[in-house]
Amino acid sequence: MHFGIFVEERRRETSEATAFQEALELGEAADAWGLDGVWLGEIHFNPTRS
Per-residue pLDDT of the chain (50 residues; tens, 9 = 90+): 999 998 876 667 888 788 888 888 999 999 999 999 998 877 776 666 55
The span from the CA of 7 to the CA of 23, in Å, is 7
Report the length, in residues, of the chain: 50
Q: Give domain status of residue 49, yes or no.
A: no
The span from the CA of 10 to the CA of 30, in Å, is 18
Contact call for residues 36 and 3 (beta carbons, < 8 A): yes
Q: Give domain status of residue 50, yes or no.
A: no
Which residues, at least 6 apart from 40, have a Cβ–Cβ distance to it below 8 Å? Answer: 7, 8, 9, 23
Residue 36 is predicted with a pLDDT of 95
| Structural domain of 14 | 4-41
Q: Give domain status of residue 37, yes or no.
A: yes
**Among 35, 41, 31, residue whose Cα is nearest residue 9:** 41
Residue 45 is predicted with a pLDDT of 63
Residue 14 is predicted with a pLDDT of 80
Number of domains in the chain: 1
